[in-house]
Amino acid sequence: MERLQKVIAMYGDYSRRKAEELIVKGKVLVNGKVVSELGTKVKSSDVIVVNGDVLDKNINFEYYLLNKPREVVTTTKDEHGRKTVIDLIDTQMRIYPVGRLDYDTTGLLLLTNDGVLANKLMHPSSKIDKVYIAKVKGKVLASDVKKLRQGVIIDGRKTSRCIVKIKKYNKKSNTTIVKLTIHEGRNHQVKKMFMALGYEVIKLKREKYANLDLRGLKVGEYRRLTYKEVTTLYSLVK
């Protein structure tokens, strides 16, 4: 048996928070009865109705790896009419991004309709490695590299230890290319880490996520994950 809000988030077009909100408001029926208590557990055979629609649990999971371009929003819908990452994937399924990349950040992004895997990957306890390449204005000092590795304060909390390596300094443009491997997923984290030390990130790209990389994918292209890749992701979040 699984918690009702988890099942709704897994099979419906809802976040876990939205699912909980609908339950509390009495918008969810299980086997014809309104259920408004969070944490209620349901069986696979239970008929669940959300906002008047029967929840389809006979769903086939799809997993995509996208090389996200700049100026694309990492969301399922955008109230300003901007292009979203969903617009780039040709599928009839209700998929959604696993985590976020900023509007002007490029690189590796996972999209799926497998709510269980998505939630596990995004949970802080999973500590999934994410590798970024940042182009930073100015020369990044060795002393600041050490601070980044040990953690800096952003949004009132210290970041976890991470791997930082200077790839190149361009004297002519006065920019530094830095490779970072982090396992947190805080909002605008890489940019804020550099900002905390007085640096501006000009460009940012995510090159790796867990066992996945961008080999063979041009900007804007995507592919389905293989069965082996999916099983490896599950093994990483057990």
- Shared-domain flag, residues 82 and 133: no
Which of 10, 35, 54 finishes a domain?
A: 54
- Shared-domain flag, residues 6 and 48: yes
CA distances for 23 relative to 3, 40, 47, angstroms? 11, 10, 15
Catalytic residue among 13, 78, 102, 213: 102
- Shared-domain flag, residues 114 and 222: yes
Provide the pLDDT for residue 145.
97
Provide the pLDDT for residue 14.
77
Provide the pLDDT for residue 164.
98
| E strand or H helix at 204 | strand 200-209
- Shared-domain flag, residues 121 and 216: yes
Q: 7, 92, 6: which is closest to 47 by C-alpha?
A: 7
- Shared-domain flag, residues 90 and 140: no
- Residue 8 belongs to domain with CATH number: 3.10.290.10
Mean pLDDT by runs of 10 across the 238 residues of the chain is: 84 81 93 91 88 80 96 91 95 91 96 90 92 98 97 96 97 98 93 97 97 96 94 89
Could you tell me the end-to-end alpha-carbon distance of the chain, in angstroms, rounded to an integer?
A: 18
Provide the pLDDT for residue 16.
80
| Number of Cβ within a 10 Å radius of residue 56 | 10
DSSP 8-state class, residue 164? E
- Residue 179 belongs to domain with CATH number: 3.30.70.1560
Active site includes 129? no
Provide the pLDDT for residue 85.
97
Provide the pLDDT for residue 12.
74
- Shared-domain flag, residues 194 and 133: yes
Domain enclosing residue 90, as ranges: 63-125+212-236
Which of 54, 75, 97 finishes a domain?
A: 54
Question: pTM score, two decimals?
Answer: 0.77
- Residue 221 belongs to domain with CATH number: 3.30.70.580
- Shared-domain flag, residues 175 and 200: yes
For residue 165, the SS3 value is strand
